[in-house]
Amino acid sequence: MASTQAAAASEQAPTKNPTLLAWVAKMAAMTQPDRIVWCDGSEAEKQRLTEQAVKDGTLIPLNPQKRPGCYLHRSNPNDVARVEHLTFICTPNKTDAGPTNNWMEPEAAYTKLSQLFEGCMKGRTMYVVPYAMGPLGGASTKIGVELTDSDYVVLNMRIMTRMGKAALDMLGDSDDFNRGLHSTGDVNPDRRYICHFPQDNTIWSFGSGYGGNVLLGKKCLALRIGSYLGREEGWLAEHMLILGVTSPKGETTYIAAAFPSACGKTNFAMMIPPKEYAGWKIETVGDDIAWMRPGPDGRLYAINPEAGYFGVVPGTNYKTNPNAMETISKDTLFTNVALTPDGDVWWEGKDGEVPEELIDWQGKPWKKGSTEKAAHPNSRFTAPMSNNPVLSAKANDPQGVPISAIIFGGRRSNTVPLVLQAFNWTHGVFLGATMGSETTAAATGKVGVVRRDPMAMLPFCGYHMGDYLQHWLDMQKSIPQLPKIFQVNWFRQDKNGKFIWPGYGENMRVLEWIVNRVQGRVPTQETLLGWVPRQDQGLNLKGLDMSEEAVQEATSIKEDEWKSELKSQEVFFEQLGTKAPEALMLQRKLLIARLDG
């Protein structure tokens, strides 16, 4: 039956690519779907799948007057986030995966998951989803094909990637494509695995329906597999936003920035400058992922491989991110938010009064004042990037944009100043390697513990973190015009535990200083840790309701705090063992020597 179905599917397939057809047939023989459907990415297909998902109860239509083209999805309550402990890097040698990844031997992984995939699609449809990560026709673009039994996945992949016939046409007869296999299975956490096979350019995901685990183009291909391919091919796959900032004179500077979760990454990518910056413009190239490679002119060029945004909803409002609110006003899929009586969606932190009654993210009645969250803290929106009012015209440019500055930022209540420029590339890599954020009580039970998250890539690097950092150092040789590297921290607190810096749109003041440094327009003050703004020719503070003492506190460098910081970094570098790059160890020794001197 399965082989007959596979043969029929091959006959109906919109491609003659022999490698692709053989792989689809082999996977179909294992999973045994009742039907195989090749996705073309058309509007008619979207309408058909949406109608079917509504009929099946997978999607709930929202009020078309309030949210045109929008739908709500509720996932299984046991399946609401990425599962790092069930995410594996499958390399022949455990050392290649490194100490920060879970490892499984490839043959063992294929054997274990094959038993789960065997017959798992009986009674279901297998969708063949060809997709492009990156602008169509671009040299940096990669093609993937995801096989899935979830129409929710297909509809999300349609938003997040360039999906369908165009991707299949770009692939042609090539065998160079990522092979992704996914089934929701029975959504049992005991049978849930997300396995990456870097050497095979393959991803197998079983037992989950949550986006980060099943939209295989996103974290799986774009970062875990992408980072491995980047090292092999001489480029960087990074967990970074890309923005363009244009001055009133029409000069545009492109910047990539890495922030761990809960550090305002999407807000920064879509920032609206304060009124004092009339004539300045921020445009979004990407909000989450950057693929960067050396260009023919010696600069580093970046593309956003995605076509949509898969963002966290709680806390999003017209103060924190007005452009995101506009982006999710139409043609958006919401996952695990609350439903209002009039068919709109609600989440904690949304503008306006808290409704008296809601249906919560699990489909249960909810009343104002409840101690339970109405929307899950990790509830999501999936929205096309074309909805973004400040989308850059370069977002679909196959060549990408030239990166002049790279920013690393975490959430730190002390130690790290508002902004700091690295002395050079190696020093900048050191700052990125040691970046981190302080934990909250909700996360660990302990407050203020620094969790190191090098380049915000700890959960997403597809190989040994020490080799990854060395790859960053090695990239210097192939980029004659290196971007300047900066470190920022919007979250420094005063003695009363209040944030010193106002953040949000006021971060434009820091961004302007970074642009001026890149263009060589402002002098700076050298410190033991890097270059910081001078008091006389530094940050533009015009119109900012902030005392001079507060500004000094936000930008200060306290040697005793940095001595403790350097000591606490030891644990991270010890974890890397012999693969800790020597150049970074020397940077650390130099900093210690300067502080001790």
Active site residues: 263
Cα separation of 447 and 450, whole Å? 9
Q: How many CB atoms lie within 10 A of CB 268?
A: 27
DSSP labels for 88-151?
EE--SSHHHH-TTSEE--HHHHHHHHHHHHTTTTTTSEEEEEEEEESSTT-TT-EEEEEEES-H
Q: How far is CA 348 from CA 14, 59, 192, 276, 339, in A?
A: 45, 21, 29, 30, 12
The pair phi, psi for residue 34, each rounded to 5°, is -75, -35
The pair phi, psi for residue 389, each rounded to 5°, is -60, -20
For residues 104 and 90, the answer to whether their CB atoms sit within 8 Å is yes
- Using alpha carbons only, what angle is made at residue 51 by residues 50 and 55, rounded to the nearest 5 degrees? 115
Cα separation of 88 and 224, whole Å? 10
How many Cα atoms within 13 Å fall on the side-chain side of residue 550? 13
Distance of CA 126 to the CA centre of its chain: 27
Strand ranges, E, within 111-251 = 125-133, 142-148, 162-163, 178-183, 193-197, 202-206, 236-238, 241-246
Q: Which residues have C-beta within 8 Å of that of residue 250, sequence separation ≥ 6?
A: none
Closest to 253 (Cα-Cα) out of 231, 232, 280, 275: 280
Closest to 182 (Cα-Cα) out of 198, 190, 173, 194: 194
Q: Which residues of 240-262 are buried (b: 16+ CB within 10 A; e: fewer)?
A: bbbbbbbbeeeebbbbbbbbbee
In the block, tokens 């090695």 appear at 474
